[in-house]
Structure 1
Amino acid sequence: MRKLRARSLSVSEARQMLRGHELDSATIDEVIEDFGRRGYLDDAALAEVLVTSGVERKGQGRVALSRALAQRGIPREVIDLALDELPDDDDERALEFARSKARSLARLDHDTALRRLMGQLSRRGYNGSTAMKAAKTALQEATFGRGTSGVRFVDSD
């Protein structure tokens, strides 16, 4: 109960925590079933909260969200249902994140800025094509109106 007060647990995490207290499997199953009936353990509700948090606070894409839920021991079918509830706006979220980072990378040469921004987007779980499109668009917007280098050639005639 103390663990549940500190942080919501998946059924898998609760089972693992109870094993650490050297309980037999029948007792563990009873506790898990009781906690499920009381609403203390609900993988679907936990997945929904984690997906919402990952999208709103961390700007994560589907890949990162799926990985995070799987690491918490949430079953694949529950993960798929939670991700199906997401609007199909990975492209928009990736572009929004890329825009927020592109301004700080605009001082770098284009290839370096693109590589770094792609890495940041990939770590947040955006697939390669989504990350590339968002990074290119954001960098183009950040550098629009200024030359690609600081070098100017002046005619001295």
Structure 2
Amino acid sequence: MGSRDAAERGLLKKLRARQVSVAEATSYLAQHELQGEAVDAILDAFLARGYLDDARLAEQIVHAGIDRKGQGRQAISQSLAKRGVPRDVADAALAELPDDDAERALEFARSKAGSMRGLERDVALRRLAGQLARRGYGGSAALSAARQALDEATRPSSRVRFE
């Protein structure tokens, strides 16, 4: 039987580095060979103190996915599942997302389209759609955003010049 104090200290140290899900905490505690009651007691104490909060973690993952990574709903959903966030909690966090995947896909595509100016259109379209797909944007949304962004990037600038 492992030391409960060592397991608690280790979990606290882990939490200082980053928020973990209840599933990740349970998995971590299982490595310390504690009895089921000891694991439950530690989890209950951490939940009561607010150290573990799957809803808050889900919110952080959703916002990081959108704001920092430019991900689509599908990729964010996969991140939530990978971190062990329960399905109902993940669905609730995703429901808070505005349904603007197409807009976020276009925004990302615009940011990348300029760097593809020298490429043949088909190659640029394929690469850009691939980048969007890897960020979790569905096939038709990815293609549509890639097409529009490339069209905008190749269109001559319509700025008015004052002399």
TM > 0.5? yes
1:51 pairs with 2:62: yes
Q: Alignment identity in percent?
A: 60
1:93 pairs with 2:99: no
Q: Could you say which residue in structure 2 is the equivalent of 1:108?
A: 119
Q: Tell me, what secondary structure is at the counterpart of 1:60?
A: coil
Show structure 1 runs of 5+ residues with no match: 147-157
Task: Return the letter of the residue paired with 2:119.
Answer: L
Distance, in Å, in 1 between the alignment partners of 2:139 and 2:44 is 41
User: TM-score when scaled to structure 2?
Assistant: 0.87
Task: Return the letter of the residue paired with 1:72.
Answer: R
- The RMSD of aligned alpha carbons is 1.1
Distance, in Å, in 1 between the alignment partners of 2:75 and 2:128 is 16
Task: Return the letter of the residue paired with 1:30.
Answer: A
Per-residue CA deviations over 1:82-122 (Å, capped at 9, x if unaligned) read 00001111111100000000000121001110110011001
How far residue 44 of structure 1 moved from its aligned partner, in angstroms, is 0.5
Distance, in Å, in 1 between the alignment partners of 2:90 and 2:122 is 36
Distance, in Å, in 2 between the alignment partners of 1:114 and 1:30 is 54
Per-residue CA deviations over 1:5-56 (Å, capped at 9, x if unaligned) read 1111000000000011111111111111111111000100100011011100
Task: Return the letter of the residue paired with 1:83.
Answer: L
Q: Could you say which residue in structure 2 is the equivalent of 1:73?
A: 84
User: TM-score when scaled to structure 1?
Assistant: 0.90
Aligned residues: 146
Q: Could you say which residue in structure 2 is the equivalent of 1:37?
A: 48
Q: Tell me, what secondary structure is at the counterpart of 2:45?
A: helix
Show structure 2 runs of 5+ residues with no match: 1-11, 158-163
Distance, in Å, in 1 between the alignment partners of 2:117 and 2:37 is 60
How far residue 145 of structure 1 moved from its aligned partner, in angstroms, is 3.0
